[in-house]
Amino acid sequence: MHFQFFRYCDFHASSCFLIYFLLLFLPAFPARKITAPISVTATDDSKATWGNFVKFLDVGKGSHVSGMSELKKYFHRFGYLSRPPEMANFTDIFDCSFEAAVTAYQKNLGLPVTGKLDSYTLNQITSPRCGVSDSSAVNRSLHNVKRFAYFYGHPRWEKKPIITLTYAFSDDHLTDYLSSDEIKAVFRRAFSRWAAVIPVTFTEAEDYEASDVTIGFYHGDHGDGEPFDGVLGVLAHAFSPENGRLHLDAAETWAVDFESQKSKVAVDLESVATHEIGHVLGLAHSSVKEAIMYPSLSPRTKKMDLRIDDVEGVQALYGSNPNFKFSSLLESDISSNQAVGFRSSLCWCRIFLGIISFVSWL
Name the residues annotated as catalytic: 276
Q: Alpha helix locations (H) across the chain?
A: 2-25, 50-53, 68-77, 96-108, 119-125, 180-195, 269-281, 308-318, 326-361
Strand partners, 280: none
Q: What is the rounded CA–CA span in Å between residue 191 and residue 292? A: 13
Q: What is the rounded CA–CA span in Å between residue 85 and residue 191? A: 42
Residue 37, CA distances (Å) to 50, 52, 162, 225, 276 in order: 11, 15, 50, 35, 30
Binding region for Zn(2+): 130, 222, 224, 237, 247, 275, 279, 285, 293
Cβ neighbourhood burial of 26 (10 Å; 0-12, 13-18, 19+):
exposed
Instruction: Select from 40, 41, 42, 44 the least CA-distant residue to 253.
Output: 44
Instruction: Select from 113, 104, 106, 115 the least CA-distant residue to 137.
Output: 104
Determine contact, residues 174/183, Cβ cutoff 8 Å: yes
Cβ neighbourhood burial of 225 (10 Å; 0-12, 13-18, 19+):
exposed
User: How many C-beta atoms lie closer than 10 Å to residue 112's C-beta?
Assistant: 14
CA 261 to the chain's CA centroid: 22
User: How many C-beta atoms lie closer than 10 Å to residue 303's C-beta?
Assistant: 19
Determine contact, residues 213/167, Cβ cutoff 8 Å: yes
Q: What is the rounded CA–CA span in Å between residue 67 and residue 92? A: 6
